[in-house]
Amino acid sequence: MAVTVEKTSLDEVLLLTPSMFRDHRGTYVETYNIEDYLINGIDIKFVRDDISTSAKDVLRGIHYDDKTWKLIQCMFGKIFFVVADMRKDSPNYLKWVSFILDDVSRQQVLVPPGFGNGHLVLSGSCIFHYKMSEYYDPANERGVKWDDPKLGILWPVKDPVLSEKDSKTNYL
């Protein structure tokens, strides 16, 4: 199996498409093989895997820190996934890119440190999986409100389901 890597409009953010085997029984996909990633210049040591489940119209994020690489994928369902450059010294500061991630394409997004990410569930429910390069450190955690006008993200929802924290978080 292999993975195809594409740059996005934010050069540091990569879209990865693992190869898939399909037959009459279903599909098989290898979601991570360090050799495939190393061949593509992705030399990141992941130390933990996290999974969240959410229902339709749940919006999580936008969260980030200055240390952690994240490899994101939607294991089940369909999500609208956003990555925003939160690095104040970057020429792309506050620019964002979005993706539709689902359990059909199995695409992944590599999110660098300093980039915020959030997702909105488009299907009835979803399973969201991410590999992380750092252990959780609440002192380093940052967040931006999902509808902050400085970002101007075009979310495909008017009234998302939010946690209390995500409904008021803002560090801009």
Instruction: Tell me which residues are annotated as active site.
Output: 63, 130
Chain-centre distance of CA 163, in angstroms? 18
Is residue 115 within 8 Å of residue 83, measured between CB atoms?
yes
CB neighbour class for 148 (10 Å; exposed up to 12, middle 13-18, buried from 19): middle
> Rounded to whole angstroms, how far apart are CA atoms 149 and 36?
39
Q: At 123, which amino acid appears?
A: S
